[in-house]
Amino acid sequence: MSELDADIEQTLISTEQIREKIGELAAQIDADYADREPMLVGVLKGAAMFMSDLARALERPSTMEFMAVSSYGSGTQSSGVVRILKDLDRDIADQDVLIVEDIIDSGLTLSWLLKNLRSRHPRSIRIVTLLRKPDALKVDISVDYVGFDIPNEFVVGYGLDYAERYRDLPYIGRLRPAVYGG
Ligand code: XMP
Ligand code: MG
């Protein structure tokens, strides 16, 4: 139990469901990367929890890199104009890059990121996301591994924040409207 539980209106995905799903995703990734070592590229901060649990669930060795980006634009809508806040520390040329995302909403951030990383000539590049909001997608991107498709509503927990809080919740839920003044 966490003090934050009281702010959650409904649990959408439980800790146990997350754990099980990560096991399934890891098994698929292990099979697909049978003779390779994926370089996990996590997008901060939201993907931090997913990345660390995924890396531990994989049987194959992997390496970890992090990048932080921010979308320019007003409010909560992503604009597709992205700024790099923290770039990768290492060259990804000839690496088998696996982008690790917490959530794909409009897809604009990821679409930009893919283009940016592809220009650095990795050997391969794939995407794994824990969550996706199919009804919010604005661009056509093929995502290789998806944990859960969820409705087009704002969620927090397991890395996802509202005003930097709730990332530490071990499950994913919907906030009570009163919390954000609704
Ligand atoms: P786009 O629209 O470019 O944006 O796919 C993806 C990024 O937007 C954030 N995001 C959320 N964060 N709860 C959150 O805490 C949500 O429901 C949500 N939807 C989008 C997130 O940073 C993601 O990487
Ligand atoms: Mg993110």
Is 154 close to ligand 1, i.e. is its CB under 6 Å away? yes
The answer to whether position 22 is within a domain reads yes
Annotated catalytic residue, options 105, 144, 161, 168 = 105
Domain around 9: 3-69+87-180
Q: For residues 19 and 13, what is the distance between their CA atoms, to the nearest angstrom? A: 10
pLDDT digit string, tens, across residues 86-124: 999 999 999 999 999 999 999 999 999 999 999 999 999
Per the annotation, the verdict on 105 as an active-site residue is yes
Atom 20 in ligand 1: residue holding the nearest Cα: 105
* CATH number of the CATH domain containing 107: 3.40.50.2020
Residue 175 belongs to some domain of the structure: yes
For the chain, what is the domain count?
Answer: 1
160 lines ligand 1 (CB under 6 A): yes
136 CA from centroid of ligand 2 (Å): 15
- Rounded to 5°, the CA angle 99-13-85 comes to 35
Q: How far is 127 from 112, CA to CA, in rounded Å?
A: 13
pTM flag (> 0.90): yes
Instruction: Say if 24 falls within a structural domain.
Output: yes
Confidence of residue 73 (pLDDT cuts 50, 70, 90): low
Whether 157 lines ligand 1, by a CB cut-off of 6 Å, is: no
Buried b (16+ CB within 10 A) or exposed e, 17-43: ebeebbeebbeebeeebeeeebbbbbb
Nearest to 143 by CA among 173, 172, 105: 105
Asked if 125 contacts 115 with a C-beta cutoff of 8 angstroms, the reply is no
Residue reference for tokens 């399934």: 24
- Residue 77 in this model has a pLDDT that exceeds 70: no
Residue 168 placed within a domain: yes
User: Looking at the predicted structure, is the pLDDT value of residue 1 above 80?
Assistant: no
